Amino acid sequence: MADIPESAISEKFLAGTGPGGQNVNKVATACQLRVDVYALGLDPDSYRRLKTLAGSRMTVEGELVILARRYRTQEANRADARERLNALVDAALIRPERRVKTKPSKAAKARRVDSKKARSTVKAGRGRVRPSE
């Protein structure tokens, strides 16, 4: 799990939409988490992956904005936002495995050609029958 410094995070609570009835209109329960990505100290590859994963949630100034309004309480939304932030950063830290290019052997190529020829002869035998004279 990524260790995110508190100094890089700023929280703001907004009036949210969704479940909660009249409470939604009165209480600021939605949590907007802003994270300064440069303060995380990620290596360039991880930063690039984070930028790709974040998509439109990343601002031009290098801030990652996460809006959590799934729950009815501030505490639950705050925890949800931090969980999602951790998941995003953890996913960015995982280096994808490099694909090793493979090439079919000569025998495999020969088997493929033989099977194609066999199939070709089967299909060629299915032609229209001409009446014998």
Q: How far is the CA of 14 from the CAs of 4, 82, 102, 111, in angstroms?
A: 23, 16, 53, 66
Report yes or no on whether pTM surpasses 0.75: no
pLDDT by residue for the chain (133 residues), tens only, comes to: 567 767 677 787 877 666 666 666 677 778 888 888 888 878 888 888 888 888 888 888 888 888 888 888 788 888 898 888 888 888 888 888 999 999 999 999 999 999 999 999 999 888 777 777 6
Contacts of 85 (CB under 8 A, 6+ apart): 4, 9, 33, 35, 64, 66
Structural domains of the chain ordered from first start: 6-93 (3.30.160.20)
